[in-house]
């Protein structure tokens, strides 16, 4: 019998539906109480007691991986990002890491478009004024009058640019990877430096992965390049942005607004200055919200778990067919 620690917040409410799958593979489940993610200490409580895990953004640091090895064979991440896992340590201890690339491209890219429309058309502020009893005609603009700069032109970044093209926006991109020339030509994307993008863009969308080179990529220095009318949108990972530097830029009027789905500390502390800023739109790490795409990730996460445990996938296919 294998034992699996299940802590992925989006899978836990659906777990009863998947219990027959685990039972068919003779897998015992450990189900801890989870508030967004497990810390090092919370995982260490179970160290040495599980063979695999289905996790969210739990802190699988070197310390945790060393304590969980050699029994731990697979970390099956629910979703795409694996920045909370020490990948070097996992390789050293022969632990497989599984994830679902391109998992939430559609819902995340649609959220970016939604944020840009909200700011360009001033929709939340018009609504607030009306409900406060003010018949105030706040000026907006169309997206076709705006320049979008996308930092990180991967799956999500490309999807954002494709959708923005339909609104007639001028498009800028920045990435350390060379982009296919056919994509750039088809969608009219100009690749440029980070400084140039920050200087010219009305909307700056962060869509890169979090790694040592992107940590605090948006900081006090890079924010100085922004137009005071620019809006920063982060739907990627919180630590890509130096949150204190962002708060300073917003408070000093060096940035017009921000839309943030992710934060350096999650959940966002109740004393954060961001919570009292009218020019900031906030969400609780929720741009992946989509039952259709969640379902795909549920099954792929279980598949990765079974692969890492060395179990056959034949029975899983039968369960998937029943659900479809």
How far apart, in whole angstroms, are the C-alpha atoms of residue 56 and residue 37?
Answer: 6
Q: Catalytic pick from 237, 254, 264, 295? A: 237
> Is the Cβ–Cβ distance between 254 and 226 less than 8 Å?
yes
Phi-psi group of 274: left, alpha or beta (phi > 0 → left; psi -120 to 50 → alpha; rest → beta): alpha
Please check whether residues 143 and 47 belong to one and the same domain: no
Rounded to 10°, the helix 105-121/155-166 angle is 40
Closest CA to 274 of 244, 303, 298, 254: 244
Residue 180 has pLDDT above 90, yes or no: yes
Reported as a pLDDT band with limits 50, 70 and 90, residue 151 is very high
Give the CATH number of the domain where residue 263 resides: 3.40.50.720
pLDDT in tens, 222-265: 999 999 999 999 999 999 999 999 999 999 999 999 999 999 99
Q: How far is CA 13 from the centre of its chain?
A: 20
Residues 6+ apart with CB under 8 A from 191: 153, 172, 173, 174, 175, 179, 184
Confidence at residue 11, expressed as pLDDT on a 0 to 100 scale:
97
Structurally, the chain folds into a number of domains equal to 2
How far apart, in whole angstroms, are the C-alpha atoms of residue 257 and residue 269?
Answer: 20
Please check whether residues 124 and 266 belong to one and the same domain: yes
Domain, as residue range, for 24: 2-103+290-323
> Is the Cβ–Cβ distance between 308 and 9 less than 8 Å?
no
Confidence at residue 51, expressed as pLDDT on a 0 to 100 scale:
98
SS3 250: helix
Please check whether residues 214 and 155 belong to one and the same domain: yes
Mark whether 190 is an active-site residue.
Answer: no
Reported as a pLDDT band with limits 50, 70 and 90, residue 317 is confident
pLDDT in tens, 291-300: 999 999 999 9
Confidence at residue 168, expressed as pLDDT on a 0 to 100 scale:
98
Please check whether residues 253 and 273 belong to one and the same domain: yes
Mark whether 266 is an active-site residue.
Answer: yes
Please check whether residues 316 and 252 belong to one and the same domain: no
Closest CA to 296 of 10, 82, 57: 10
Query: Which pair of structure tokens corresponds to residue 189?
Result: 């994307």
Please check whether residues 209 and 242 belong to one and the same domain: yes
Kindly state the average pLDDT of the residues 270-281: 98
pLDDT, the chain, mean: 97
Mark whether 163 is an active-site residue.
Answer: no
Confidence at residue 322, expressed as pLDDT on a 0 to 100 scale:
72
Calculate what percentage of the chain has a pLDDT beyond 90: 97
pLDDT in tens, 162-174: 999 999 999 999 9
Please check whether residues 8 and 95 belong to one and the same domain: yes
Calculate what percentage of the chain has a pLDDT beyond 70: 100
Please check whether residues 127 and 205 belong to one and the same domain: yes
Residue 324 has pLDDT above 70, yes or no: no
Please check whether residues 95 and 199 belong to one and the same domain: no
pLDDT in tens, 188-203: 999 999 999 999 999 9
How far apart, in whole angstroms, are the C-alpha atoms of residue 305 and residue 100?
Answer: 12
Please check whether residues 110 and 239 belong to one and the same domain: yes
Reported as a pLDDT band with limits 50, 70 and 90, residue 323 is confident
pTM here is: 0.95
Please check whether residues 80 and 193 belong to one and the same domain: no
pLDDT in tens, 68-102: 999 999 999 999 999 999 999 999 999 999 999 99
Please check whether residues 131 and 261 belong to one and the same domain: yes
Q: Catalytic pick from 190, 264, 266, 295? A: 266
């Amino acid at each position: 019998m294998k034992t699996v620690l299940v802590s992925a917040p989006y899978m836990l409410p659906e777990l009863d539906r998947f219990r027959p799958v685990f039972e068919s593979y003779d897998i015992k489940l450990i189900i801890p109480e989870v508030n967004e993610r497990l810390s090092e200490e919370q995982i260490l409580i179970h160290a040495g007691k599980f063979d695999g895990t289905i996790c969210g953004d739990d802190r699988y640091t070197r310390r945790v991986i060393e304590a969980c090895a050699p029994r731990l064979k697979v970390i099956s991440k629910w979703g795409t990002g694996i920045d909370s896992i020490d990948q070097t340590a996992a390789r050293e201890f022969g632990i497989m890491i599984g994830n679902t690339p391109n998992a939430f491209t559609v819902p995340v890219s649609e959220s970016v478009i939604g944020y840009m429309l909200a700011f360009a058309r001033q929709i939340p502020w018009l609504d607030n004024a009306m409900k406060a009893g003010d018949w105030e005609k706040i000026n907006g603009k169309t997206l076709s009058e705006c320049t979008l700069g996308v930092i990180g032109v991967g799956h999500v970044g490309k999807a954002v640019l494709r959708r923005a093209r339909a609104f007639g926006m001028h498009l800028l991109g920045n990435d350390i990877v060379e982009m296919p020339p056919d994509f750039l030509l088809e969608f009219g994307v100009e690749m440029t430096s980070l400084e140039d993008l920050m200087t010219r863009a009305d909307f700056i969308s962060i869509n890169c992965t979090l790694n040592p080179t992107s940590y605090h990529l948006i900081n006090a220095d890079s924010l100085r390049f922004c137009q005071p009318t620019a809006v920063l949108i982060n739907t990627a990972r919180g630590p890509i942005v130096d949150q204190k530097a962002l708060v300073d830029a917003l408070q000093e009027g060096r940035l017009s607004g921000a839309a943030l789905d992710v934060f350096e500390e999650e959940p966002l502390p109740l004393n954060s200055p961001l919570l009292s800023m009218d020019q900031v739109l906030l969400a609780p790490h929720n741009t992946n919200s989509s039952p259709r795409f969640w379902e795909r990730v549920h099954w792929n996460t279980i598949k990765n778990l079974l692969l890492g445990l060395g179990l056959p996938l034949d029975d899983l296919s039968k369960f998937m067919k029943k659900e479809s």
